[in-house]
Structure 1
Amino acid sequence: MTGQSKPALSPWGSAVAGATGAVLANAIVYPLDLVKTKLQVQVKNTSDPTKNEDIVHYKSTLDAINKIVEKEGIEGLYSGITGSLLGVASTNFAYFYWYSVVRSFYMASNRVSKPPGTAMELTLGAVSGAIAQIFTIPVSVITTRQQTQPKGEKKGLIETGKEVIDSEDGWSGLWRGLKASLILVVNPAITYGAYQRLKDGLFAGRNNLKPWEAFLLGAMSKAMATIATQPLIVAKVGLQSRPPPGREGKPFKTFSEVMRYIIQNEGALSLFKGIGPQILKGLLVQGLLMMTKERMELVFIVLFAYLKRLKDRKLHKAVDTAAEKAKASLPATLK
C-alpha cells in the first residue's frame, strides 16, 4: 500500500535479491563489458607504430563491436560470459550481504546519528566492498583473462584458472589486482552512498520506488562513481589481463606501474580509455540492478512470508496430530 514501508529482508534475503538483479542486469549488457575491457587493455606503442601492426586496435566502442563480430561472429561478444556472471553473482551476493549486516549493526547502535550521513554511508559501503573483494576477486581475474584471449586461444573457466596458477605468480595470481580492488571499493561506496543520499533527498519518506525512479537514481549514482575512479579501473584491468606485447611477457606488479606504462606510451588521457562503454554499461547495469533489486526484494518478501505461513501450518498440524494421538492413547475414563 502507498506510504507503507515494506518489511525488512534478512541479510541473506537482501544478498540473494541483489545478486539476482545484478546477474540479470549484467547479462543484458555483457557485450559492453567485453568491449570496455578490450579497450582498456590495449596499449598502442606510439614510438614504434609497426611493432603491433598484427594486433587489432579498436578506435571506439562501435569500432570494437564491428571488428569483434567480423572476426569472431556474434558469439565473440559473449566470450567469457559464464565466468563473468559467476563473478557478478558472487561479488554482489557478498557485497549486499555484508552491506546489510554492517548497516544493521550501525542502525542498531544508540550512539550514532540516523540515518547515516554521506561520509558514513561511504564508509559502510567501503567496508562491505572490501570484505566482498577478498573472497571474489579470483573470478574477476579469470574473467578478465577470458575476455582478452585471442580467438585461437579461447579457454574455459577452469583452463584459464590453471593458466593463471601456472604463471610465475602461482596461486597468488588469482588475487592479482587485490590492492587496486580494495582501493576501488570506493566505487560501489560512492555509488550506493550517492544512491542513498539522492533517494533520501528526492524521495524522502518513501521506501518503495517506482521502477523508473530506481533506474534513474542508480544510473546517476553509478556515473558519478565511474568518472571518479576510471584511472584505477583501467589499471586494475591491466593488472589482471595478459601483459601487452611491449612488455615481452613480463606482467605488471602494481597498479601504479600500469598507470606509468600507459602514460609513457599513450599519454595521461589514456587513463580514461574505455570510459564511454564503461559509463554506458554502468548506467544500464546500475539502473537495471536497482530497479530489479527493488522488485526482487518484494518478490522475496512475499516468498518468505508464504514459506513462513506454510511452515506454521505444518507445525500446527503436527501439534494437532500429536494431541489427537495422545488423547486416543488415554484410558477411556480419562477422556
Structure 2
Amino acid sequence: MSEKVHITSNSGNVDQAVEALGHAMAGGVAGMATIALTYPFSTVSTRLQVQQKQKDQQQQQITVVPYKNSVDAFKRIITEENWTSLYSGLKSALIGIGASSFVYYYWYSLLKSISLKFRNKSELGTIENLAIAALAGSANVITTLPIWVVNTRLQLRSNKGIVGEFKSIVKEEGFGGLYKGLIPALILVSNPSVQFVSYEKLRSLWRNKSGRSKLGALEIFFLGALAKLIAGVVTYPYLLVKSRLQSQSSTDAPYSGTFDAINKIFKSDGFLGFFKGMPSKMVQTVLGAAFMFLVKEKISTYTIFCLFYLKRKLSQKRV
C-alpha cells in the first residue's frame, strides 16, 4: 500500500459517500462474521424469551416451562433435537445482520460526516451522536425487520426455510405480519445509540489516559464489550417483548400489541420475566459486539482505501 488516503470532515459529498460505503461494507462483513461465531447463544436466548407458563387444560394448574435456564436449554436442544438446531435460521440471520450492519453503518457514517462538515468540527457531542445513531437505527429497522421476523420463526423449530417461512407469513398474516414487533424494535434503536456513543466516549477517555492515538486489538475488544454490556442491560426488556410479538402467528396471538404484551408478561412472570434468556443473550451480544468492533476497525481502513483507489482510477479513465 504505497499511497495513503487522508479523509477529513472537509471532504466533498462524493468522498463522504465513498467513506460511508466503506464503513458500511466493513460493518456488514464484521456483522456476518460475528453472528456466525455467536449464533447458538442467540437461538437459546430466543427460545427462552418466548417460552411462557401454560395452564394444563385438565388440571387447571401451571405447568413447568420447557427450559429452566440457558445451560438447561443448551443441553436439551442438543440431546432432544440435534446440535444443528442451535443454528436454525442461520442463513436468514447472516442475511439480516449483513443488511442491518450495512444500512446502519452507511447512514451513521454519512450523516456523521455531513454533520462534522456542516458544523466544522472534528468530534460530535453526545446529543448529536445519539440523534445520528437514532436516525440510522430507524432506517435500519424499517428496512430489515421482515428478515428478523422470519429469523425468529426459524429459530423456533420452523423447517420451512427462509423463502417458505416468508411466503407463509405473508399468506397467513399479510405483509403486516413481517412487521410484528415494530414498536419495540424502534425503541431498541436506543441500543446501538447507547452502544456506539458509549464506545466512542470510552475510546476517547482511554486515548486521553494512555496518551496514544491508536488503540491495540485487545483494548478495542474490551471497550466494545463494555459498551455493548451497558446498552444490552438497559434495553433487554424491549428485546424480549419484540421476540414474543414476532413469534406469534395470526392463529395463535396471545398479545394484541406491544403494551398488551408488556402488561401480560408482567402479570404472568413479574418484573424478572422481562429478563428471561438474558445471560445467553449478553454472552452473544457482548462478545459479538467486541469482536465486531475489532474486525470492523481492522478492515474498514483497507476497504475505504480500495474504494477511493477504484474511484480515482475510474476518474482517470474518464479523463
Q: TM-score, normalising length from structure 1?
A: 0.83
1:90-101 pair list within 5 angstroms: 90-101=99-110
Q: Distance in 2 between matches of 1:180 and 1:13?
A: 30
Write out per-residue CA displacement over residues 302-327 of structure 1, whole angstroms, 9 at most, x where no aligned residue.
43355457657x74xx98xxxxxxxx
Q: 1:110 to 1:311 in 2, by over 3 A?
A: closer
Write out per-residue CA displacement over residues 179-218 of structure 1, whole angstroms, 9 at most, x where no aligned residue.
1111110000000010111111111475543211111111
- Number of the residue aligned with 1:119: 127
Contact kept, 8 Å, 2:28 with 2:97, in 1: the verdict is yes
Deviation larger for 70-79 or 198-207: 198-207
- Number of the residue aligned with 1:166: 171
Write out per-residue CA displacement over residues 152-198 of structure 1, whole angstroms, 9 at most, x where no aligned residue.
x511001111121122x311111111111111100000000101111
Q: 1:250 to 1:42 in 2, by over 3 A?
A: same
Match of 1:290 among 283, 290, 293: 293
- Number of the residue aligned with 1:42: 51
Matched, 1:277 2:280: yes
Matched, 1:26 2:35: yes
Contact kept, 8 Å, 1:188 with 1:225, in 2: the verdict is yes
Q: Distance in 2 between matches of 1:5 and 1:198?
A: 27
Q: Distance in 1 between matches of 2:306 and 2:212?
A: 23
Aligned length: 305
Contact kept, 8 Å, 2:266 with 2:274, in 1: the verdict is yes
Contact kept, 8 Å, 1:15 with 1:92, in 2: the verdict is yes
Q: State percent identity of aligned pairs.
A: 31
Contact kept, 8 Å, 1:209 with 1:294, in 2: the verdict is no
Given residue 261 of structure 2, which amino acid in structure 1 is its aligned partner? Answer: V
Cα-Cα RMSD: 2.8
1:80-229 pair list within 5 angstroms: 80-110=89-119, 115-149=123-157, 153-167=158-172, 169-204=173-208, 208-229=214-235
Contact kept, 8 Å, 2:20 with 2:106, in 1: the verdict is yes
Q: Distance in 1 between matches of 2:251 and 2:297?
A: 48
Q: Which runs of 5+ in 1 are unaligned?
A: 320-335
Contact kept, 8 Å, 2:108 with 2:133, in 1: the verdict is yes
- Number of the residue aligned with 1:333: none
Secondary structure class of the residue paired with 1:166: helix
Q: TM-score, normalising length from structure 2?
A: 0.87
Kindly state the Cα deviation for residue 300 of structure 1 after the two structures are TM-superposed: 1.2
